[in-house]
Chains A and B, each alone.
Chain A
């Protein structure tokens, strides 16, 4: 009886873990898509640190895609946390860069709910770390090799492909904006 209860609990925890990772991936895809909308629809070219923040978010997404594609592993949770910390460090440094008004330095882009992009990036980094800490505290380590339910696996596949598509668009945009040189926010270097 006790063995059955433990097995049911482990299965339930694994399902919640998969749902959690799917949720994080969906949020990341949404944020990265919104960043591209701001870039192309509103003409807000990303600065170098903004682009590095996108890389960090893609890194967290990569770790989750690896879990869904190649089996769940706590190593990928570690990788996601590394990228989340990288996002927090870059965003905090960028926020400090523009926090004191001075000539030539102002927050890039529009404010959303009164907060500018680097501040939002810091909040996202912090929330990613907290969410993973909470997940590990409540659910324990990801069950190695656990298979997600077919619906969750399909959703993970779709979101993984969406993340791949977003990364491809970002890659082309970066090549157009920066070429092989330093990135600037004035224009797309290869189009001017």
Chain B
């Protein structure tokens, strides 16, 4: 998944350099969606969900 995110970002930058604005924006939109999905997946725990119980006193 991380490779796909960096791949989408690389594609977006290449397309921006080639002045393919619309395609570059589509690639960056894909990159944001994938990054948001991976972020929520990384911080989610089956036991505690999105909570951070180690900060509860």
Contacts and interface: CB of A to CB of B under 8 A. Distances in A.
A89 B39 CA distance: 10
A56 B19 CA distance: 21
Contacts of B39: 49, 52, 89-90, 93
B10 A168 contact: yes
**By DSSP majority rule, is chain B's interface helix, strand, loop, or mixed?**
helix
Contacts of B12: 62
Contacts of B54: 100, 102, 105
A56 B35 contact: yes
Contacts of A96: 52, 55
Interface residues of A, number: 40
A66 B5 contact: no
Contacts of B3: 171, 174-175, 178-180
Contacts of A180: 3
Given A174-B6, A178-B3, A65 B17 contact: yes
Given A82-B32, A179-B3, A93 B21 contact: no
Contact of A70 (B7, B19, B36): B19
A37 interface: no
B42 interface: yes
Interface in B5-54: 5-7, 9-10, 12-14, 16-17, 19, 21, 24-25, 28, 31-32, 35-36, 38-39, 42-43, 52, 54
A131 interface: no
A26 interface: no
A9 interface: no
Contact of B17 (A51, A82, A83, A164): A164
Interface string A101-143: 0100100000000000000000000000000000000000000
13 contacts: A51-B2, A55-B6, A65-B13, A70-B19, A86-B36, A97-B52, A100-B54, A100-B55, A102-B54, A160-B16, A164-B10, A164-B14, A164-B17
The 5 closest A-B pairs by CB, nearest first: A171-B6, A164-B13, A70-B21, A174-B6, A167-B10
